Amino acid sequence: MSDTNEIFDLGRQSLDAIEQRLDLSRREYLQFCATLAVTMGLPKGSEAAVAKAIATAQRPSVIWLHFQECTGCSESLLRAEHPTLEKLILDVISLDYHETLMAAAGHQAEAARKNAMKTHKGKYVLVVEGAIPVKDNGIYCKIGGHKAIDLVKECAADAAAVIAIGSCASWGGMPSTGPNPTGASSVAEVLGKPVVTIPGCPPNPYNFLATVVHFLTFGKLPEVDQLGRPKFAYSRLIHENCERRAHFDAGRFAMEFGDAGHRQGYCLYKLGCKGPETYANCPTIGFGDAGENNWPVGCGHPCIGCTEKGVGFTKPIHQVAKMLNVTPPLQYPRIVEEQGKGATFASAAALAALAGAAAGAAVMLTRNLGLSHAAEEAERAKAGSKPQDKAQV
């Protein structure tokens, strides 16, 4: 904590109140605020402003709508900890309407929504989870007798901010794939205006919470990219920050689930990892809380590109990714030295590196991967073996 003065400005009473309210020690609370400030990419010292905003600002009323989805976005929020995130979420916001969490049902639930919209007119945050079917006049999703398409328009009209949470609400997600029988559409498409999107199936709960806290702390939503995604979370390719990246650069790939390379944590590119064409902060801000470093690639599964329209649920999982942004690997000195015999990963990398000096890096990287694949095939043929179960370096 750098700006201790500002934090102590919060006053002992505020910190005591926070301790009681959240059932957290002040150390845990301040650590949590620092985590959120880091997630938002705020400069050093900003955690004080975050701590102050959460402790003192009025909780924004949130109306949370569910349409075509699996409720995984809500689950992702509620299954998080550090320390029990759901406690903090439910304290930072005033969740006035959420179909799967509220005790009210039927007419009472409808009344709660209407009441929140009236009481907090122009000030509430509308969160939409799930895609909105527009085909056949939107008849494929109704809640309380209202069509999703009408509900979202009605609730958005007086909202201070609209957040589309999850890939379904952000760009159509899973329900919009294939022939899209219901015309599943994004919130922005239905409202005809851009909204903040937090894609992911499910999305990272810290990205949602950081967006809300940004709104609380600075009175405005964070800066977004052309797809409405907060830049603090979605401006880097997964491939840029992946812990397996050194293996990619050195040409060490898992070739099959469960083979030696897979067991040793090698790069999952050849199993179809879409990290090279997917923007998200999954490698840096893990989530899921089934243990440290818990994110798809960390668990041994290739990224399917769930935050990226046109990648997740669209490209086959086994299809190798398009290299969007080729950074230094070809210019780096070789990490793996050639052992002297046959075509190895190292010799393939060396060939590609030489050729790379004369041609475009992206083209050469693709060739590099092809060469290393050819090298593996050649080695396999030489050894007369089936697909390898031994790590090759």
The site for ligand SF4 (CB under 6 A) is made up of 238-239, 242, 244-245, 248, 267-269, 273, 275-276, 297, 303
The tokens of 44 are what? 């050093």
Q: Does 305 bind ligand FSX (CB under 6 A)?
A: no
User: Which of ligand F3S, ligand FSX, ligand SF4, none lies near 298, with the C-beta cut-off 5 to 8 A by kind?
Assistant: none
Residue closest to ligand FSX, measured at CB:
72
Q: Which of 1, 17, 38, 70 touches ligand FSX by CB under 6 A?
A: 70
Using an 8 Å Cβ cutoff, are 68 and 175 in contact?
yes
Q: Does 250 bind ligand FSX (CB under 6 A)?
A: no
In 3-state terms, what secondary structure has residue 265? coil
- Can residue 295 be called a binding residue for ligand F3S (CB under 6 A)? yes
Residue with tokens 């937090």: 198
Please identify, using beta-carbon distances, which residue of 200 and 356 lies nearer to ligand F3S: 200
Q: Residue 140 binds what, of ligand F3S, ligand SF4, ligand FSX, none (CB under 5 to 8 Å, by partner type)?
A: none
Q: Which of 61, 185, 278, 347: binder of ligand F3S (CB under 6 A)?
A: 278
The reply to whether 321 sits near ligand F3S by the rule CB under 6 A is: no
Distance of CA 36 to the CA centre of its chain: 15
Minimum CB separation from ligand F3S for residue 142, in Å?
A: 30
Task: Report the candidate in 358, 306, 311 with the shortest Cα–Cα distance to residue 330.
Answer: 358
Are the CB atoms for 303 and 255 separated by under 8 Å?
no
To ligand F3S, the closest distance from the beta carbon of 296 in angstroms equals: 4
The identity of residue 133, as a single letter, is P
Residues 6+ apart with CB under 8 A from 294: 286, 287, 288
For residue 386, CA distances in Å to 16, 344, 390 come to: 65, 17, 11
Out of 60, 133, 138, 166, point to the residue binding ligand FSX (CB under 6 A): 166
Please pick, from the candidates 47, 96, 129, 249, the single residue that binds ligand FSX as defined by CB under 6 A: 129
Q: Of 163-171, 185-193, 255-263, 373-381, which part binds ligand FSX (CB under 6 A)?
A: 163-171
- Tell me the two tokens of residue 306: 């769930």
Applying the rule CB under 6 A, the residues between 181 and 220 that interact with ligand F3S are 200
Q: How many residues bind ligand F3S (CB under 6 A)?
A: 13
Pairing of strands 184-185, 146-147: unpaired
**Number of helices (H), then strands (E), in the chain:** 17, 9
- Name the residue with tokens 């080695």: 379
Please state the closest distance from residue 351 (CB atom) to ligand F3S, in A: 31
Answer yes or no: are the C-beta atoms of 129 and 165 closer than 8 Å.
yes
Between 47 and 277, CB nearer to ligand SF4: 277
